[in-house]
Amino acid sequence: MHYYSLQHKAPKVDFRTATIQGQAPDGGLYFPESIQQLPAAVLSNLAGISREALAYEVIRPFVGETIPSAELQRIVTETINFPIPLKHVHNGIYALELFHGPTLAFKDIGARFMSRCLGYFARDEKQPITVLVATSGDTGGAVASGFHNVEGVRVVILYPSGKVSSVQEKQLTTFGDNIHALEVDGNFDDCQQLVKRAFKDTGLTSQLFLTSANSINVARWLPQQFYYFFALQQWKENQPPVFSVPSGNFGNICAGIMAWKAGLPVRHFIAACNANDVVPRFLETGDYQPRTAIPTISNAMDVGDPSNFVRILEIIGNDRTMLKTILSSYRTSDQRTKELIRTMYQQHAYLPDPHGAVGFDALGNWIQQHPDHKGIVLETAHPIKFLDVVEPVIGQPVPVPASIEETLTKTKNATPIASDYGALKDYLVNSNPF
């Protein structure tokens, strides 16, 4: 399997090179040369195959010969060694709970897979690898956990000051060792632009071995297909599901559309958005206009220029008419998000986080228009990660999972920097890598 740049001005590379580089030299995102159909024997027997075997079948074509089979099987097994249950909430609406991993967020899967791939590739490198990543919330903690003490790898995480939850901040700033957090005076788009500029800086990349752990990296993005297949393993309804996906940078829903393209039976996808509604506007008008991100209570979705949307367009051949047959999008206000959290908890005994609430709202809107459809919301994070939003809404404490109690007692360790590329470059070049 080879990967090409969506800017079409860089050489094709294999999975190893695409993972290590993160972004193509021309600034484009890497995209697989082909999307292979999964064998019919696998697709017709999803419930009869183990999660480990299924995930291996899904990812193997994308990895090619860059990782030996036994090593890839080990990586996959370690990546998914926690539950991913599908729970019925009410009236044909289900929640796929992606928050049972070490940092209580869906990004654990992508971060764990990528960290293990990069750890394997780093064995052959003569200089340390610097993983540079921007986060709007959950990516930072997942990457910090996945890469903590991975030999030969330094991680630098940029996050917007005051725009992540208190729990998210603790998760990305308290590891120490090879994990470094930069608290940026700006929003997520500012952080993402700093990261993109670093990769385009040939003077910097000649000094440092840089790669990215954002969903722009194929090793972070592609394994997110796994849980769509895991959902179908547990699906008992007699029709394919509609997937409602809380969407910020659009890597998650893009992975789902990749799974559909490979043969997974899906009826429709819904990109559930907050006030940052670039994609809903595009689907309505055909005009794609990036905007400055608007802060909301579903902060991990506060993205005004979603990087992975270009990959979705590539999957469907840049055909907007075809896109609208498989993808719809809704926007939800903060007020409505709070209403959903409260009513779902009171009426259905289910407590979503703010991002999941946006997903439930979007799916509810869809089913009102298509009452014969049934669907799955990707519940992307545990509500404890947003207790400062959720607790005032439900009027009581959110139970603290044992896995996070120790993290909450640790001391934040972050370096404040301006939203200035010179400040970032100085840190990368002159700070102690480990």
Tokens of 119: 């750890």
Q: Is residue 6 part of a domain?
A: no
CA pair distance 302, 385, nearest whole angstrom: 16
Model confidence pTM above 0.85: yes
Residue type, 250: F
Q: Is residue 48 part of a domain?
A: no
Q: Is residue 148 part of a domain?
A: no
Which of these ranges, 45-59, 244-258, 401-415, has the smallest mean pLDDT? 401-415
Q: Is residue 97 part of a domain?
A: yes
Which of these ranges, 146-155, 263-272, 422-431, has the smallest mean pLDDT? 146-155
CA pair distance 22, 153, nearest whole angstrom: 14
Question: Is 261 considered catalytic here?
Answer: no
pLDDT value, residue 232: 97
Find, among 386, 418, 344, 356, the residue nearest to 97 by Cα: 356
- 79 has a pLDDT exceeding 60: yes
Measured in whole angstroms, how far is the alpha carbon of residue 288 from the centre of its chain? 22
Find, among 10, 307, 386, the residue nearest to 134 by Cα: 307
Tell me the Ramachandran region of residue 182: left when phi exceeds 0, alpha when psi lies from -120 to 50, beta otherwise. beta
pLDDT value, residue 401: 87
pLDDT-derived band at 22, boundaries 50, 70, 90: confident
**Alpha helix segments (H runs only) across 316-386:** 320-326, 334-348, 354-369
Q: Is residue 264 part of a domain?
A: yes
Residue type, 323: L
Instruction: Kindly report the CATH number assigned to the domain that includes residue 226.
Output: 3.40.50.1100
pLDDT value, residue 434: 55
pLDDT value, residue 173: 94
Q: Is residue 113 part of a domain?
A: no
pLDDT value, residue 299: 87
The pLDDT tens digits for 117-126 are 988 988 777 7
Q: Is residue 216 part of a domain?
A: no
The pLDDT tens digits for 107-164 are 899 989 998 998 898 877 777 889 898 887 777 888 888 888 888 888 999 999 998 8
Mean pLDDT over 93-107 rounds to: 94
Mean pLDDT over 235-258 rounds to: 96
pLDDT value, residue 152: 80
pLDDT value, residue 432: 67
Chain-wide mean pLDDT for the chain? Answer: 92
Give the range of the structural domain holding residue 323, as residue numbers without chain letter.
Answer: 83-105+221-394
Q: At what angle do helices 69-79 and 107-122 cross, to 10 degrees?
A: 150
CA pair distance 358, 368, nearest whole angstrom: 16
pLDDT-derived band at 362, boundaries 50, 70, 90: very high
Q: Is residue 96 part of a domain?
A: yes
Name the catalytic one among 12, 107, 200, 374.
107
Nearest-5° angle of CA 425, CA 430, CA 431? Answer: 100
pLDDT-derived band at 433, boundaries 50, 70, 90: low
Count how many domains the chain has.
1
Tokens of 284: 């309505």
CA pair distance 357, 375, nearest whole angstrom: 14
Tokens of 39: 């064998």
CB within 8 A of 346, min separation 6: which ones? none
Count of alpha carbons within 13 Å of 131, Cβ hemisphere only?
37
